[in-house]
Amino acid sequence: MGIVKIADDLHAEARRASAVMCRSINAQAEYWMKIGMLAEANPTLAFHEIVRRQLAEAQVGTAALEAA
């Protein structure tokens, strides 16, 4: 574990997003980093497909997502 310095405006954005998403600021930043890394590694995938694949890997039911 370590400390990552980020710009004040990005920290404020993470704080606002974390409140909406019911995550801690750290969890929100980790989520953004993970999604960003996956998006860079898979540039042809849309956001919803990245999330769908992550849910499937975690064996979380995706029936509701597939119905959408």
Please write down the HEC assignment for all residues of the chain. CCCCCCCHHHHHHHHHHHHHHCCCHHHHHHHHHHHHHHHHHCCCCCHHHHHHHHHHHCCCCCHHHHHC
Instruction: Tell whether pTM > 0.75.
Output: yes
Q: Tell whether the model's pLDDT for residue 64 goes beyond 80.
A: no
Q: Tell whether the model's pLDDT for residue 65 goes beyond 80.
A: no
pLDDT recorded at residue 59: 85
**Does residue 4 or residue 16 have the better pLDDT?**
16
